[in-house]
Amino acid sequence: MSHDTAAHAAAHGSVWRRWVFSTDHKVIGCQYLFTGMAMAVIGGLMSYVFRMQLAWPDAPVPGYGVVSPGEYNALVTNHGSIMIFWVAMPVLIAALGNFLIPLMIGCDDMVFPRLNRLSYQIFLLSALVLLGSLAVPGGGFGGAWTSYPPLSAKGAYNLTPYGAPLWLVAVALEFVAFLLGGINFVTTVMNARAPGMKASYIPMVVWMIIIASILFMASVGPLVAGAVMLLFDQILGTRFFDPAGGGDPLLWQHLFWFFGHPEVYVVLLPAMGIVAEIITVFSRKKLFAYNTVLLTAAGTGVLSFLVWAHHQFVAGIDPRMAHLFTVTTLLISIPIAEMTFVFIATLYGGSITFPTPMLFALAFIAEFLIGGVTGIFLGSSGTDIYLHDTYFVLAHFHYTFFPIAIIATFAALYFWFPKMFGRMMNDTLGKIHFWGTVIPFNFIFIPLFITGMGGDHRRIYSYENFPMQMTPFLQELRIVATVSLVILLLFQVVFLFNFFWSLFRGPKAPANPWRANTLEWTAPSPPPHGNFATMPSVYRGPYEYSVPGRADDYWPQHVAN
Amino acid sequence: MIEWLVPEASTYARDIDWLFTSIFLTVGFWFLLAQAVFFWLLFRFRRRDGVPAQYITGEEKAEKRWISIPHALVIACDVFLIAATVMVWRNVKQVLPPADETIRVIGQQWAWTFVHPGPDQQLGTEDDVTEVNELHVTNGTVYHFELTSKDVLHSFSVPAFRLKQDAVPGRIITGWFQPTTIGQYDIQCAEICGIGHALMPARLYVETESAHAAWLRDRQA
Ligand code: HEM
Ligand SMILES: [Cu+2]
Ligand SMILES: [Cu+2]
C-alpha cells in the first residue's frame, strides 16, 4: 500500500495543482477529452446552422439568423477544421492515448510528464486562437479546411485579413501540441512497459495509437513548412504560392495532401484499435490474426503516403499521373478490406453480447464499410472527374469520419468510462442514444450521396442560382438530411445527460466490470495517481478469451497462470 | 446511375456513367455480401447459455484462408476497375481528339468569360467573340478549351457533360468536349473561390449549327 499513500499525497494540494497543472497522464487525458467534447458541441452546432440554410435557403436559421455567403464559408471551414483537428485528433489520440497507454502497458505515467502537460496547454491555446479567429474584424476564415492558395494567401481575395492568418496559426499550434504528444507516446511505449510485456503482448489499441503518432510525425513536416510559407504570403507579402510572383498554387496542394491523406489514417487506426479491444471482450474471442492486423496497419500507413494526388485528379496536374495514383489508391482497399475481414472473422464462433459499447463498435464496422466502398468511386480517376467536390465526396468522407470520430469514440467512452471515472453509465440510456445516433446518421448522408450524384457541388451556400439543382427532388433530399441532423443532435442530449449524471451519481464501478484481460482493468477504478498498487508483470497476450480448459472465459495478462 | 439524375449531353458522359455503374455493381455485390455475413454472424453467435466461445487464433494456415481468399477476390476486382478507369481517363483527359474549334475559358472572382475565335478561326484576333456567364456551342462540334484564371482557383464544371477541370492562375490547361444533346445546362464553379463562389453560375447553350450561326451573326452585328 505504500505506493498508494505516496501517490495520494502527491495528488493532494489545491484543485489548481491537481486539475489544472497536473502532470498525471489521466488528468491530461481527461482535459483533452473535455476540450474535445466542448469543441464537438461547437462543431456540431455549426453543422446545424449551415444545414438549415441549405434546407430552407431563404429563411433565417432559428437561433442564429440569416446566413450570409461569407458566414456560410466560415462556418463550413471551421466546422471541418474543428471536427478533424480539435475533436477527432484530441479525443482519439490525445485523450485515449494519454489515458490508456500507461495503464495498458503497465507503468505509472508517461516518460515525459511535463512535456505532456505542455502539449495540452499548447493545444488549449490553439483552440482559443481558433475560436478567437471567428470574432475578429472581417470574420472567420472561409477558404475551406484545405486552405488552398491563392485564395487563402491574400486578404484581398478571401476578405478575412485577420481570420485567415489566425486560422493558420491555430492549426500550426495544434500540430506542435501533437508532435510533443506523439514523441511522448512513442518513447513511453518503447521504454516503460511492464516486465514481460513483449511487443506481441501490447494491446492493439496501443499499437494503433503508436503507428498513428508515427504517421503523423512523418507527414506533418512538409505541411508545417507549407504553413510557414503561407503565413509569409499572408502577412509579409511573399509569393510562394502566387504565380504572379513566380510561385505555384499547386505546390501547396501537394504539401497539404501529403499530410492530409495520411491524416485520415492517423485517426482511423486508433478507431480500429478501439473496435478490436471491444469486440474481443464482448464476443469472448481472441482477436483473429493479431500479427496480420499489425502488419496491415503498418502497411496501410506506408501506402497512405503514396496516394495524396488522388485529391488532385482535376487540379491541373499532368494527366498521366492519374493512372499511378488510381493504382495506389485502389490498392489501399486491400489492407482496409483485410481489417474488416479480421473483425468479421473474430465474431465467428463467439459468444456475443450487446451492451452499449459493443453496439457502437459493431456500428463502426457496418458504417465504415460504406465509407470504404464509396471511396472506390473517388479513387477511380474516371469517376472522380464527375464526383470531385460534389456532395458524393462529402457523404463519402463523412461515412468514414463520422464512424471514426463519433461512433468509435462513443464506443470507447462507454467502454472505458467505468475505469476513467469509477462509475458505470446507464446502459438503457446508452442504447437509446445509440439508436438515436446511428439511424439519423444514415438519413443525413445517404440523401447527400444522391444530391452529389445529382450535381450538387460542395461549399455552396444556396443552389438558387443553379436551376438544374433546384428540382423538388433534390430539395426534398436536402430537407431530409437537415431534419435528420436535428434529430441526431437532440439525441446527443441523452448522452450528455447520461455522461454527467453517471459521473456523479452512477453506481460505483468494480475494477473489471467487463471481465477483460488488459492491464488497465487490474488498477482500481478510477486509478489513483501512479496507477497500480503493485506494478503488474505480464505473462501473455491481451486476447486470451475462452481458452480451452480454463474455468474462467478470460485470462488477464498479469495473472501468472 | 448518374444519367438517372443528370442528362448526358457529351460524348464522354456515357463513358463516365458506364464506369460509375460498373463500380457500383462490383463493389455493391461485395458490400452486400459482407454486410450479410456480418449480421448473420451476430445472430448466429449471440450468447447462449452453456455454449462457450471457440478459441481460434487465426494464426494457422488453414484459418488464414478466411482472409486470403477474400483478398484474392478484392485484388481481382481492383485489377478490373483499374483497367476500366485507365481506359476512361485516357479518353476523357489524356488523349484529345482533333479540335473543330478552340475556345478560351477564363475564371475570375466571380464570373466566367468565354472567348470564341470568330469567323477567322483564330483566337486573339480582332474578330474574337467574348461572352460573360453564357456559353453558346454547336451540337456535335469537337471543342478544345484553354482554361485559366485571373486570380484564385476556380473549377470549370458542367455536370451534364461530366466535365470538370480546375482553373489555375498562371497556367493554361487544355481540355475538350463534344456536345451531343441540344438544350440548356448549368455551368458551376466547383472550387471554393471566396464569398461569391455560389454566385458564379453560368449558362450553357447547346445549339444546332444554324442557330449557333445566327447567334454569332447577332453578336457581331
Ligand atoms: C454531426 C454530423 C455532421 C454533419 C451533419 C456534417 C455536415 C457537413 C456538411 C453539410 C458539410 C459541407 C457543407 C458545404 O460544403 O457547404 C460538412 C463539411 C465538412 N465536415 Fe461535416 N458534418 C458532420 C460531422 C462531421 C465530422 C464528425 C467530421 C470529422 C471528424 C466532419 C468533417 C467535415 C469536413 C472536413 C468538412 C469539409 C469542410 C470544408 O469543406 O472545408 N463533419 N459537414
Ligand atoms: Cu469560382
Ligand atoms: Cu468557386
pTM reported for the whole predicted model: 0.94
Q: Which three cell numbers stand for residue A435?
A: 439508436
Question: How far is B3 from chain A, CA to nearest CA, in Å?
Answer: 9
pLDDT at A172 over 90: yes
Residue A427: Cβ-neighbour burial (10 angstroms; 0-12, 13-18, 19+): middle
| Residue B70 and residue A333 in contact, taking contact as beta carbons nearer than 8 Å | no
Rounded distance between C-alpha atoms, residue B80 and residue A197, angstroms: 44
| Residues 40-99 in B contacting A (C-alpha not used; CB under 8 Å) | 41-42, 45-48, 51-59, 63-64, 66-67, 70-71, 74-75, 78, 81-82, 84-89, 92-94
Rounded distance between C-alpha atoms, residue A221 and residue A238, angstroms: 21
Tell me how far CA of residue A321 lies from CA of A305, B88, B94, in angstroms: 15, 14, 10
Q: What is the pLDDT of residue A12?
A: 55
Residue range A457-514, pLDDT digits in tens: 999 999 998 989 999 999 999 999 999 999 999 999 999 999 999 999 999 999 999 9
Q: Which residues contact A280 (CB under 8 A, 6 or more apart)?
A: A286, A287, A346, A543, A545
Rounded distance between C-alpha atoms, residue A458 and residue A477, angstroms: 15
Q: Which residues contact A124 (CB under 8 A, 6 or more apart)?
A: A31, A35
Read off the pLDDT of each residue in A190-208 and give the average, rounded to a whole number.
94
| ipTM of the prediction | 0.95
DSSP letter (8 states) at residue A238: -
Rounded distance between C-alpha atoms, residue A503 and residue A435, angstroms: 22
- Lowest model confidence (mean pLDDT) among A30-34, A114-118, A531-535: A531-535
Rounded distance between C-alpha atoms, residue A461 and residue A54, angstroms: 7
Q: What is the pLDDT of residue A4?
A: 41
| Residue A265 and residue A212 in contact, taking contact as beta carbons nearer than 8 Å | yes
CB atoms within 10 A of CB A175: 21
Question: Length of chain A in residues, anyone?
Answer: 561
Q: For A200, how many CA atoms within 13 A lie in the half-sphere containing its CB?
A: 9
Using the CB atoms, write b or e for A371-402: b if 16+ within 10 Å. Answer: bbbbbbbbbbbbbbbbbbbbbbbbbbbbbbbb
pLDDT at B92 over 90: yes
Q: What is the pLDDT of residue A1?
A: 31
Residue A466: Cβ-neighbour burial (10 angstroms; 0-12, 13-18, 19+): buried
Residue range A334-383, pLDDT digits in tens: 888 888 889 999 999 999 999 999 999 999 999 999 999 999 999 999 99
| Residues 31-50 in B contacting A (C-alpha not used; CB under 8 Å) | 31, 34-35, 37-38, 41-42, 45-48
Q: Is B30 on the interface with A (CB under 8 A)?
A: yes
Amino acid (one-letter) located at A350: G
Read off the pLDDT of each residue in A72-80 and give the average, rounded to a whole number.
96
| Residues 20-79 in A contacting B (C-alpha not used; CB under 8 Å) | 68-70, 73
Q: For A473, how many CA atoms within 13 A lie in the half-sphere containing its CB?
A: 12
Residue range A87-114, pLDDT digits in tens: 999 999 999 999 999 999 999 999 999 9
pLDDT at A2 over 70: no
pLDDT band per the 50, 70, 90 thresholds, residue A5: very low
SS (H, E, C) A281-325: HHHCCCCCCHHHHHHHHHHHHHHHHHCHHHHCCCCCCCCCHHHHH
Rounded distance between C-alpha atoms, residue B71 and residue B84, angstroms: 20
Which residue in B74, B173, B192 is closest to A459 by CB distance? B192
pLDDT at B148 over 50: yes
Q: What is the pLDDT of residue B13?
A: 94
Read off the pLDDT of each residue in A393-419 and give the average, rounded to a whole number.
96
Q: Which residues contact A104 (CB under 8 A, 6 or more apart)?
A: A202, A203, A205, A206, A518, A519, A520
Residue A336: strand, helix, or coil: helix
* Test the A interface: residue of B152, B177, B193 with most A CBs within 10 Å: B152
Of the candidates A453, A306, A451, A325, the one whose C-alpha atom is nearest the C-alpha of residue B85 is A325
**How far is ligand 2, taken at its centre, from the CA of residue B180, in Å?**
26
User: Is residue A88 in contact with ligand 1, taking CB distance under 6 Å?
Assistant: yes
| Residue A147 and residue A172 in contact, taking contact as beta carbons nearer than 8 Å | no
| Residue A444 and residue A129 in contact, taking contact as beta carbons nearer than 8 Å | no
Question: How far is A377 from chain B, CA to nearest CA, in Å?
Answer: 7
For residue B158, what are the β-bridge partners? B163
pLDDT band per the 50, 70, 90 thresholds, residue B221: low
Q: Which residues contact B60 (CB under 8 A, 6 or more apart)?
A: none
Of the candidates A506, A373, A531, A370, the one whose C-alpha atom is nearest the C-alpha of residue A428 is A506
User: Is residue A3 in contact with ligand 1, taking CB distance under 6 Å?
Assistant: no
Tell me how far CA of residue A110 lies from CA of A229, A280, B68, in angstroms: 34, 27, 39
Q: Measured between beta carbons, which residues in chain B are less than 8 angstroms from residue A289? A: 57-59, 63-64, 67
Q: What is the pLDDT of residue A537?
A: 93
| Residue A182 and residue A118 in contact, taking contact as beta carbons nearer than 8 Å | no
Amino acid (one-letter) located at A316: G
**Which position has the higher pLDDT, A338 or A78?**
A78
Helices (H), A304-426: 321-331, 333-347, 356-379, 381-387, 391-401, 409-421
- Pairing mode of beta strands B101-108, B143-149: parallel
Give chain B's mean pLDDT. 92
Q: What is the pLDDT of residue A9?
A: 44
Tell me the DSSP string of chain B: -GGGTS---BTTHHHHHHHHHHHHHHHHHHHHHHHHHHHHHHHHTB--TT-PPP---S-SHHHHHHHHHHHHHHHHHHHHHHHHHHHHHIIIIISPPPPSEEEEEEEETTEEEEEE-TTTT-TTSTT-EEEESEEEEETTPPEEEEEEESSS-EEEEEGGGTEEEEE-BT--EEEEE-B-S-EEEEEEE-S--STTGGG--EEEEEE-HHHHHHHHHHHH-
Residue range B103-113, pLDDT digits in tens: 999 999 999 99
Using the CB atoms, write b or e for A178-216: b if 16+ within 10 Å. Answer: bbbbbbbbbebbeebbbeebeeebbbbbbbbbbbbbbbb
Residue A209: strand, helix, or coil: helix
Amino acid (one-letter) located at B25: L
Of the candidates A67, A80, A40, A70, the one whose C-alpha atom is nearest the C-alpha of residue A167 is A80
- Is-cis flag, bond preceding A514, omega within 30? no
Of the candidates A473, A415, A470, the one whose C-alpha atom is nearest the C-alpha of residue A100 is A415
Q: Give the number of whichever ligand sits closest to the CA of residue B191.
A: 3
Rounded distance between C-alpha atoms, residue A366 and residue A403, angstroms: 9
3-state helix, strand, coil in chain A (%, to 5): 70, 0, 30
* Test the A interface: residue of B188, B199, B200, B206 with most A CBs within 10 Å: B188
pLDDT at A13 over 80: no
Read off the pLDDT of each residue in A408-416 and give the average, rounded to a whole number.
97
| Residue A367 and residue A403 in contact, taking contact as beta carbons nearer than 8 Å | yes
Residue range B190-206, pLDDT digits in tens: 999 999 999 888 999 99
Q: What is the dihedral of CA B125, B131, B137, B138, to 10 degrees?
A: -60
Tell me the DSSP string of A48-109: HHHHHHHHSTTSPBTTTB---HHHHHHHHHHHHHIIIIIIIIIIIIIIHHHHHHHHHHT-SS
Of the candidates A266, A241, A243, A261, the one whose C-alpha atom is nearest the C-alpha of residue A251 is A241
Q: What is the pLDDT of residue A359?
A: 98
Q: Which three cell numbers stand for residue A150?
A: 491563392
Q: What is the pLDDT of residue A387?
A: 96
Q: Measured between beta carbons, which residues in chain B are less than 8 angstroms from residue A386? A: 2, 16, 20, 159, 162, 164
Quick check: B64 and A289 CB within 8 A?
Answer: yes
Residue range A243-264, pLDDT digits in tens: 888 899 999 999 999 999 999 9
pLDDT band per the 50, 70, 90 thresholds, residue B125: confident
B104 φ/ψ angles, rounded to the nearest 5 degrees: -110, 135
DSSP letter (8 states) at residue A404: I
Of the candidates A249, A248, A265, A251, the one whose C-alpha atom is nearest the C-alpha of residue A306 is A265
**How far is ligand 2, taken at its centre, from the CA of residue A159, in Å?**
15
pLDDT band per the 50, 70, 90 thresholds, residue A6: very low
Rounded distance between C-alpha atoms, residue B26 and residue B1, angstroms: 14
